[in-house]
Structures are given as C-alpha cells and as structure tokens.
C-alpha cells in the first residue's frame, strides 16, 4: 500500500498532540529568567558601541591634534587625514551595522527578513574586507610617520637619505598587496579545511562569503518569483 | 610591526564580521519587558511552545545544537513580542520568528557562538519531546529524511503544509504570494511523494 503525503500529514498532526503533552514549560522559571534580564536592555550592542568609541577616542584626538598642527605640511597632513578618515568611517560603519543587526525584526515574513539579514551581512563582510586591505596600508608607514612626528618630533622623511625610498617602496608594496591579497585568498578558498577560522578570514578577503551571500539573495528572489508564471 | 598594527586596527571589524557570519543572540541583549507583558507572552507561549520544537527539529539534527536553537527562538520571540500587534495570528507570528531563527541558524552552522546557559534554566524541558521524535515510526522517519534533503526555504514550506496551514496562511509566514505557495507545495508534494514511494518500495517487507 502506498501512503500519500496527505496520509503522512495526518500522522504528523497526530504526533503533534503527543508533543503538546510531552513538552514541559516551567512558566515560573521562565518568567523569572525574563524579568531578571530586565536591566540588560540591549546591553550587548550598547556595550560594544561604547567600547569601540572609547577605543577610538585616543586615536581621533591624537589625529585631530596632529592635523591641526600640520595644516601647512602636506607630507604629514595627508597621512593623518587618511588615518582620521579611516577611523571615523570604520567606527561609523560598525556602529551602524551593529544597530541594523540589533533592530532586525524576526517576526517579519521569511523572505523579507532573510533578505535583510543577507544584505546586512554583505555590508559587514565588505567593511571587514576593506578595513583589512586598506588598514594594512594605512596603519604601517602613514601611522609610523604620524606617530614619530607627533610623539617624538622626529621627521622620518629626513632621518636618513634612505628613508624616502624606504617609505615609497613600502607604500607601493602596501598598494600592491591589496590586489595580491585578494588574488591569493581566492586561491585558498576551500583549501584550508584544517583551520576554519583562517579559512573564514581568507574567504572574507577573497569576497567568497560575499558571493555566497549574493547567491542566497538570488535564491530568495527566485523563491519569491511566481513559479506559476514561468 | 606592520602586521601587528593592522591586526590591532582591524580587530573590531574582524570581530564584527565574524559575528555577522554568526549573529548569535546574546543573553545580554534581552529587551526590557514589563511583568504584565511578560505574563501575557508566557501564557501565549505555553499554548504554542511545540511550534518552536517542531521547527527546531526540522532544521537541526544535532541534539545539543537543537537545544541552543530552541533557546535562540525563545529569546528572539521574547525580543520581538513588544512589536506583536495582532495584525497576524499569534501562531503565524511565532512560526515566522521560529522559521527565521532556524534558517539563520541553519545557514551559519559550524560558526555559531554558543551560549552557556542550559535551556532548562529557562524552564523549557525538551528531553521528553526528543524522546517522542526518537520513537517515530518508519513513515515519519522516512518523511523526515526526505525533508532533510530539501533546502532551508522549501523546508519551511513543507513544514507549514504538514502543520495543516492553507496557502494564504503559509504565504503570510513565508512572504510570497498564495498562488506561488500553492504551485510550490504541489511540486514539493509530487517530488516527496515519488521519493517516499521509491524509498518505501526499496525497503524489505
């Protein structure tokens, strides 16, 4: 005898009644757990934002002070402006994205909510990728130049005849590193099974995670499209 | 020094990106809720708690992970309840939350950030329900196996069909048109039916 899916549905629903009596919920305990957490309103996100702002303040203050003192010296002004802009942009993006995750409404219809999650994910992965790729450039030579000048009063451009070439080569290498890192990480996609964290990192730099997220968005769009019309 | 400086500067961005890959629901992010609303929520949850477990069971085979998933559903239901405005039935609403949490969980398997608080501390004991599913007959086991072969989106459709929802109700949970739901459900039914028949015909009598 062949069972139909509708017969199976009846079996499924019959089990539902048993499930109702099997699952036990201690309402008192749950209520206590919920009310105990009353004071922790959105604490995780707020704490994260506060920590990040506190971490960024010394850098922002230092770069701001440095910029004000070197307005007439483009060789120092430009790196400091770039570092200041990087810090402000990353801080703003992280806080904005953290807020977007916090405000997700899981009671929205499945397709809408999953699409929103995926778009936030793409934005955050993109932020991570470019934070790393531009960070490795900015937080080396430009940062060291600003740091030495700001704290020690040392002008690294003139400390030796070799330094300007060293700086130029390092900046050139930092710029070249961006496409190289993207290319290299693409080669490593799916090849680092022994180290999931590093694999996740290289996937992020290669943009593989972004491609996966875009693939899911496309899948959602196909799912949403009316199949009867095709 | 270059690597160190870069790592330091991008630490937070990295952390956030990893968290986004695994946007686990922190127990610290519980929303405030007044005692009256909490009581109202719990009363409604009491009548619909099995939904959380059924959705969790279809999306997560590992017992420990399933505990985490039910906990995440519970917390997310609670977080979202303040926005519940009766425009949809509570059962539709709770299915939406449960399915959304389950799909998010399903898509980030392996990279989750685990909470350490056992589900029992939240007053929900699902061990007996686990045992009930373990005792499922051959038909139910075969059906579950077939459902496990579906992707996360179609899994939601077939779950809601098995739960007895009509196309309009499924459309309200999933967010696609009712005609689209009907077409997709019919295709899924045909596919699962054929696979089920093939599977049961292959079994020794």
Q: Give the pLDDT band of residue A216 (cuts 50, 70, 90).
A: very high
A226 φ, ψ (degrees, to nearest 5): -75, 110
The gap between the terminal CA atoms of chain A, to the nearest Å, is: 35
Q: Spell out which residues of chain B touch residue A216, defining contact as CB-CB under 8 Å.
A: 107
- pTM listed for this prediction: 0.79
Measured CA to CA, the distance from residue A176 to residue A24 in angstroms comes to 61
The DSSP secondary-structure symbol of A2 reads: P
The ipTM is: 0.77
Query: What does pLDDT average to over chain A?
Result: 85
Measured CA to CA, the distance from residue A221 to residue A224 in angstroms comes to 5
Q: Spell out which residues of chain B touch residue A205, defining contact as CB-CB under 8 Å.
A: none
Nearest residue of chain B to residue A200 (CA atoms): B18
Number of Cβ pairs < 8 A linking chain A and chain B: 249
Question: Across the interface, do B50 and A20 touch by the CB < 8 Å criterion?
Answer: yes
Nearest residue of chain A to residue B124 (CA atoms): A25
Gap from B102 CA to chain A (nearest CA, Å): 11
Confidence (pLDDT) at B29: 46
Best of A109, A118, A129 to disrupt the B interface (most B CBs within 10 Å) is A109
Which of B173, B177, B133 shows the shortest CA–CA distance to B157?
B173
Nearest residue of chain B to residue A174 (CA atoms): B2
Which of A177, A175, A184 shows the shortest CA–CA distance to A206?
A184
Measured CA to CA, the distance from residue B119 to residue B162 in angstroms comes to 27
Question: Is the separation of the CB atoms in B105 and B69 below 8 Å?
Answer: yes
Question: Across the interface, do A139 and B9 touch by the CB < 8 Å criterion?
Answer: yes
- Residues β-bridged to residue A110: none
B51 φ, ψ (degrees, to nearest 5): -60, -45
Contacts (Cβ under 8 Å, ≥6 apart) of A53: A91, A95
- In this prediction, residues A151-157 reach a mean pLDDT of 92
Nearest to B173 among A109, A200, A224 (CB): A109
Coil, strand or helix at A24: strand
CB atoms within 10 A of CB A60: 15
Nearest residue of chain A to residue B147 (CA atoms): A5
Gap from A11 CA to chain B (nearest CA, Å): 8
| pLDDT tens column, A160-187 | 889 899 999 999 998 998 888 888 877 7
Q: Spell out which residues of chain A touch residue B104, defining contact as CB-CB under 8 Å.
A: 114, 117
Q: Which residue would you say has higher pLDDT here, B48 or A42?
A: B48
């Amino acid at each position: 005898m062949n069972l139909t899916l509708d017969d199976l549905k009846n079996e499924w629903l019959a089990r539902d009644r048993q499930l109702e009596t099997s699952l036990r919920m201690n309402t008192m305990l749950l209520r206590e757990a919920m009310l105990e957490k009353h004071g922790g309103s959105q604490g995780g996100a707020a704490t994260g934002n506060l920590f990040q702002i506190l971490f960024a303040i010394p850098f922002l203050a230092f770069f701001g002070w440095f910029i004000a003192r070197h307005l007439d010296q483009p060789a120092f002004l430009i790196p400091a402006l770039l570092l200041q802009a990087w810090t402000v942009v990353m801080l703003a993006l992280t806080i904005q994205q953290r807020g977007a995750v916090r405000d997700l409404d899981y009671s929205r219809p499945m397709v809408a909510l999953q699409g929103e999650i995926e778009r936030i994910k793409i934005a955050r992965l993109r932020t991570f990728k470019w934070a790393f790729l531009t960070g490795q450039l900015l937080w080396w030579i430009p940062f060291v130049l600003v740091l030495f000048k700001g704290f020690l009063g040392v002008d690294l451009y003139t400390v030796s005849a070799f330094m300007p070439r060293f700086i130029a080569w390092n900046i050139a290498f930092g710029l070249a590193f961006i496409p190289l890192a993207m290319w290299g990480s693409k080669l490593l996609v799916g090849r680092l099974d022994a180290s999931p964290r590093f694999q996740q990192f290289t996937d992020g730099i290669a943009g593989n995670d972004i491609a996966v997220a875009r693939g899911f968005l496309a899948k959602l769009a196909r799912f949403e499209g009316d199949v009867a019309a095709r | 020094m270059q690597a160190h400086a870069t790592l330091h500067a991008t630490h937070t961005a990295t952390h956030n990106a990893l968290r986004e890959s695994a946007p686990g629901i922190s127990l610290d992010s519980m929303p405030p809720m007044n005692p009256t609303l909490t009581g109202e929520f719990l009363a409604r949850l009491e009548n619909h708690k099995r939904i959380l477990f059924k959705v969790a069971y279809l999306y997560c085979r590992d017992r420990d992970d399933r505990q985490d998933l039910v906990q995440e559903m519970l917390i997310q239901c609670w977080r979202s309840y303040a926005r519940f405005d009766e425009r949809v039935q509570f059962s539709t609403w709770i299915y939406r939350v449960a399915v959304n949490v389950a799909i998010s969980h399903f898509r980030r398997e392996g990279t989750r950030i685990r909470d350490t608080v056992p589900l029992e501390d939240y007053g929900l004991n699902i061990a007996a329900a686990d045992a009930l599913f373990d005792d499922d007959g051959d038909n139910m086991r075969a059906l579950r196996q077939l459902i496990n072969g579906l992707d996360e989106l179609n899994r939601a459709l077939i779950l809601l069909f098995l739960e007895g929802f009509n196309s309009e109700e499924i459309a309200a949970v999933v967010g696609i048109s009712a005609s689209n739901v009907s077409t997709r459900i019919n295709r899924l039914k045909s596919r699962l039916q054929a696979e089920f028949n093939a599977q049961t015909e292959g079994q020794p009598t």
